[in-house]
Amino acid sequence: MSQVSITLPDGSSRSVPAGTPVRDVAEGISPNLARAALAAVVDGRLVDLSYPLQKDGAVRIVTDKSPEALPLYRHSTAHLLAAAVTNLFPGTQCGIGPATDEGFFYDFVVERPFVPEDLELIEKKMKELATQDLPYERQLWPREKAKEFFAARGEPLKVQLIEEKTEGQKEVSCYTIKDPDTFIDFCVGPHVPSTGKLKAFKLLNTSNAYWKGDARNAPMQRIYGTAFVSDKDLKGYLTQIEEAKKRDHRKLGKELGLFIFHPWAPGATFWDGKGTVLYNTLASYMRDVLLPTGWIEVKTPLVYNKALWEMSGHWQHYRQNMFLIESENEQMGMKAMNCPGQYLLYASRTHSYRELPLRFHEQTPLHRNEASGVLAGLTRVRQFAQDDGHSFLMQDQIGDEVERMLGLVQRVYGDFGLEYTAKLSTRPPDFMGEIATWDSAEAQLKSALDKSGQPYTISEGDGAFYGPKIDFDITDAIGRKWQCATIQLDYNAPERFDLKYIGPDNREHRPIVIHRAIFGSFERFIALLIEHYAGAFPLWLAPVQATVLPIADRHIEYAAGVRDRLKGAGLRADLDDRQEKIGFKIREAQLQKIPYMLVVGDREAAEGTVSVRERSGGDKGSSSIDPFIAAARDEIANKGRVERAAGHPAPDAMRVTSFQ
RNA sequence: GCUGGCGUAGCUCAGUCGGUAGAGCAGCUGAUUUGUAAUCAGCAGGUCGGGGGUUCAAAUCCCUUCGCCAGCUCCA
């Protein structure tokens, strides 16, 4: 028998008979490694331990310390789930069951939807199968035979998958778990060697899903779960989820008195006093960022005649998401986007090429009649306002303009210390316009991204039909990604609205539009900020920046004077003049996450000082009032950024609402 | 919109087998005048999300509707 030469990660090599399974290689290295082995990487490919080595190459054994371990565990646990389900619910059809970033899921076609009690049963069965340490066995079936097998078993979805995924192949790969029913699944693998390796998993929830994610297809039942290499990791994950729930913006919004919702206005926010301060501070901040950089703030109507929506195409494509109104037999629609209104404004006069890029920005409210099931706190609402801008420009200005926009995004997100990811989406199959124009636009977007130093991924074919775009996502407390900032090129709208500018040649030309938002929507951005800061806003954003806490009634007069001086200096200050002990007032102020508590008693009243308590730092000792005000204003100007507070002045003094 | 779950006082939650509803906090009143995370006492507060049904009797069982939550589909 011929020999093959394999190289191990430590650089050593050894020779084994051709056809030797990698399991034996692990065995040959050490019995401990063999016990810990889950799979192997052979020439960069993840394979089963049973994989027979046929040619020379590099071999690395995967154990639970390897980066490949987690997805492997999760995928194998998904199979274990399917085995348990088909065991408990005979006749169940299996769909797909991949590993995800957080765990895994498996989709099934079942007689009746799963209920929570089913999950307990299923998880128990999974544990039972895991205890039996049943091997995952890889089998190569002739393609036609596999199709016949699954067809006979009443699994048409599997037959469909085999047809689509293995076209031209003679053999297809299947995996069995020899449970009482012998669970067989069509799957490329690889898998852990046996169910006994799976020790830390938990089923989390169920939901409905559609075959291939298409709502026109058969509804299926999805079971979500997660798996980790150790019980400790699993517990850690579950605690982390619990912790994250504490910073959920819906919970904090209620506790901090920021906003409420009411059943009579689903998806529309009632901003309470404190929330309104936060909202206005952000709106004002955005103006301060934009107005010096050439953006012109405008306000366009909220309700338009149907004619506008026909021209924009919304009537044809978006009507089911619009709130419609009737007025004197005319059909009107509330705006779901600002663009069409701004186009009318642009088109209302002639523009010279010398004006371009012309930049409109507005913060007026939008209404989208979203399906009830998609509403979610502030992150998905029916009424919201975007920091919505449109830049009208010439083709060769795209690169510079996008670069400036990227600079704005980086600066703004930097001011909040937010983590985000960027994604460039390119020409989709159903694009409009010329390929050459698209290529030029995409090249300019890429070049701008590269120049900005912004890391990004490319999503080929994911652009809008009217132009390529760059999207920015922020992750919420429970790990969901939300699109916030966006930069979208649009070649379609200027055509539809017959937008023009007069070029140097004294002729009419068609401008290009770039849609851009930095926050995305105020509502969603605030939701993510609340979770980002866990409700403890930096001083410049805190709805109440300082609260004065008199020790006894006789100090109220002095305390009120302190509060008034703070207010006079533009600080958002409160006074707690209730007849309560100081510990009680402090506790409440802490729970309200107020940055500064100013305790005043006999000593302070006599000396004209305040005793400063910091939200995070505790008692800071006494201070005269003016120095406290000066320090607070400094902290506000610096947006609470420690690195700047420590000696580096802010590059530009930002104004804050209360100072205006 | 789809599937599942949930909806009890302002908030957080109990409420067993169907027998007409309870706690803590908040609120109000009074006492207390307080030094860095909860002073004490009393009082008041409910169409058990809405509507319909079963029953001698419904927070509890059934139907329906609205809202919320998770996910799916869509999207800032």
Pairwise CA distance, residues A539 & A595, whole Å: 6
| Amino acid at site A437 | T
Predicted local confidence at residue A476, as pLDDT: 80
Q: What percent of chain A has pLDDT over 90?
A: 63
Residue A245 falls inside a structural domain: no
Q: Provide the CA A500 to C1' B61 distance, Å, integer.
A: 68
Residue A198 falls inside a structural domain: yes
The first and second tokens of residue A548, run together, are 């004065």
Q: Domain total for chain A?
A: 4
- Tens-place pLDDT, residues A411-470: 999 999 888 999 999 988 878 788 888 888 899 899 999 999 889 999 888 888 888 999
Mean pLDDT of A50-79: 91
Q: Show the domain range for A44.
A: 3-62
- Can you give the pTM of this predicted structure? 0.89
Residue A54 shares a structural domain with residue A78: no
Predicted local confidence at residue A649, as pLDDT: 34
Residue A560 falls inside a structural domain: yes
The sign of the torsion formed by the CA atoms of A200, A201, A202, A205 equals positive
Interface predicted TM-score of the whole assembly (ipTM), two decimals: 0.93
Predicted local confidence at residue A652, as pLDDT: 32
Pairwise CA distance, residues A169 & A163, whole Å: 10
Local confidence band at A250 (pLDDT 50, 70, 90 cut-offs): very high
The residue among A238, A258, A291 that closes a domain is A238
Whether A653 shows a pLDDT value over 80: the answer reads no
Residue A100 shares a structural domain with residue A185: yes
Predicted local confidence at residue A648, as pLDDT: 34
The active-site residue out of A94, A174, A339, A484 is A339
Residue A10 falls inside a structural domain: yes
Local confidence band at A1 (pLDDT 50, 70, 90 cut-offs): low
Residue A459 shares a structural domain with residue A591: no
Pairwise CA distance, residues A129 & A80, whole Å: 8
Mean pLDDT of chain A: 90
Residue A601 falls inside a structural domain: yes
Residue A393 shares a structural domain with residue A480: yes
The residue among A44, A62, A80 that closes a domain is A62
Whether A654 shows a pLDDT value over 80: the answer reads no
Per the model's pLDDT, the better-predicted residue between A460 and A589 turns out to be: A589
Predicted local confidence at residue A416, as pLDDT: 93
A390 catalytic, yes or no?
yes
Pick out residues 166-205 of chain A having their CB under 7 A from any atom of nucleic acid strand B: 205
Whether A642 shows a pLDDT value over 50: the answer reads no
Residue A325 falls inside a structural domain: no
Q: Provide the CA A263 to C1' B65 distance, Å, integer.
A: 13
Residue A486 shares a structural domain with residue A617: no
Q: What residue has token string 């810990």? A: A36
Residue A381 shares a structural domain with residue A488: yes
Predicted local confidence at residue A651, as pLDDT: 32
Per the model's pLDDT, the better-predicted residue between A360 and A182 turns out to be: A360
A440: domain CATH number is 3.30.930.10
Closest CA to A322 of A365, A368, A387, A286: A368
- Tens-place pLDDT, residues A188-223: 889 999 999 998 999 988 888 888 888 778 788 999
A635: domain CATH number is 3.40.50.800
Residue A533 falls inside a structural domain: no
The residue among A493, A525, A557 that closes a domain is A525
Residue A489 shares a structural domain with residue A353: yes
- Tens-place pLDDT, residues A367-415: 999 999 999 999 999 999 999 999 999 988 999 999 999 999 999 999 9
Closest CA to A22 of A58, A61, A55: A61
Pairwise CA distance, residues A467 & A404, whole Å: 19
Predicted local confidence at residue A79, as pLDDT: 94
Residue A101 shares a structural domain with residue A230: yes
Q: Provide the CA A370 to C1' B75 distance, Å, integer.
A: 9
**Local structure of residue A51 (DSSP, 8 states):** P
Residue A162 shares a structural domain with residue A87: yes
The first and second tokens of residue A563, run together, are 């509060």
User: Which chain B positions have some atom within 7 A of a protein CB?
Assistant: 1-5, 7, 11-12, 31-39, 66-76
DSSP letter string, A376-444: BTTTB-SEEEEEEEEEEE-GGGHHHHHHHHHHHHHHHHHHHT---EEEEE---TT--S-HHHHHHHHHH
Whether the CB-CB separation of A84 and A76 falls below 8 Å is answered with no
Predicted local confidence at residue A461, as pLDDT: 86
Residue A256 falls inside a structural domain: no
Residue A467 shares a structural domain with residue A601: no
Local confidence band at A262 (pLDDT 50, 70, 90 cut-offs): very high
Whether the CB-CB separation of A474 and A424 falls below 8 Å is answered with no
Return the closest nucleotide (C1') to the Cα of A601. B35
- Tens-place pLDDT, residues A80-97: 999 999 988 888 899 999
A368 catalytic, yes or no?
yes
Integer CA distances (angstroms), A36 to A29, A32, A64, A175, in order: 12, 6, 7, 21
Residue A81 shares a structural domain with residue A218: yes
Residue A349 shares a structural domain with residue A486: yes
